[in-house]
Amino acid sequence: MRELLTREQLVLGVRRLAAEITEFYGDRPITIVGALTGSIVLLADLIRELPMPLRVGLVQAHSYRGKATTPGALVINSDLLPDLKDREVLLIDDIFDTGHTLFELVAQMKESRPRSLRSAVLLEKKGRREVNFRPDHVAFEIPDEFVVGYGLDYNDLYRNLPYLAVLEDQDLRGERPA
Which positions are catalytic?
Answer: 97
By three-state DSSP, how is residue 158 classified? coil
* E-strand stretches of 9-126: 30-36, 54-62, 75-77, 88-96, 116-125
- Angle at the Cα of 77 (from 98 to 62), degrees rounded to 5? 30
Sequence-ordered list of residues with C-beta below 8 angstroms from that of 144, at least 6 positions apart, any chain: 125, 126, 127, 128
